[in-house]
Amino acid sequence: MKRVAGWSAEDVSDWLSKEGMPEYVDTLHHTDGPALLRLTEADFQMPPLSLVSSDGGQQLLEKVETLRIETHIEAHKNGHANGHAGGLPNGTSKSLRNGTLGMKDFRMEMVHIPIPTMEATRSSFPAEWGKTGIAFIYAVVCFVTTTVVISVVHERVPSKEHTPPLPDKFFDLFDRIAWAFSICEINGMLLVGLWLIQWILLKHRSIIGRRFFFIVGTLYLYRCITMYITTLPVPGMHFKCSPKLLGNWEAQMRRVMKMIAGGGLSITGSHTMCGDYLYSGHTVMLTLTYLFIKEYSPKRFWWYHWFCWTLSAVGIFCILLAHDHYTVDVVVAYFITTRLFWWYHTMANQQSLKETSQSNPFSRVWWYRLFRYFEENVNGTVPRNYQLPSSWRALQWSRSVKYSKLDIQ
């Protein structure tokens, strides 16, 4: 790797991205290596750098200080090498008394290496598994609430004989294919499985996990509201809805538990209730798993991204082909899912958006306090790094240890 003093502006941008600070790339796009080394705290007290990060540039300044030390040591080492090659320290041509360095030269030879404090050595991406647990509980509560609301809405769905399906342009163009919805659910299970494996292998799985749990929980919470306030008739005459229980809460709870146990999938026979149309939960999962897979996997895995995109797109198309959701259900689900995912990650990657201010409209959303709680200690964009879980690494290490018998004479 070439020295920092020889870095171009492009090298600086690559270094910023590699160190998990891409938010500085646009601001420092004209900065080369020497200019990077000259950055001070005063530079971060004035625009544009003061607008990038809420930590006053401390994270970047610590990284720059490390570069300065490495550069100084490299120059110091090269100076010694040049001096010893000529037989004298630092390449001097004048003999020194008793063959030693003078006090003045000795002081010039000293290297000042600041010892980092505990605050400075704190990780930019702390695990905080407690917060991940809270996000998981939040998601579970939202899932259970959604199932209960489906049971309530089911009692209000009008009979298909009295209220026929609404007109839908997609249904006019494509005839129903009965097995298409099974393809949708199989694709969804494949994407969830791939994402679960990928998540387990991520180094910063705790941060990424709580992001997934929070977003999917919020999407299903929104879904509770939309399906409850607007109950649509069944999308097709092929639907066979469970009989209404008319206030039998015990039977309704048994039906809710059956649906939860079956994952809310029709392929498992657990989803026999009607009314959960606006908006499509299957579209949410097909879209969200693909977005997380692509966001947290290397860009060079383009073939993997295309494969997952195909699974997602075919699954969404099969929802409509099976006539199990109106087209508007799928469109609304896709729109809300993608916007919430992009908004959350934009806010998480920009330190300035984690501060409550009049100039930050994101701070007015109802879940902003919860977002700050989850992301307050995450500084910068979470890198796409992978490593085996600690238990697996310990097992692998124990298997690699071999013992041999010592023959003692």
Q: Which residues participate in catalysis according to the annotation?
A: 282, 325, 329
How many CB atoms within 10 Å of residue 332?
Answer: 18
List C-alpha distances in Å: 306 to 291, 299, 320, 386. 12, 11, 21, 21
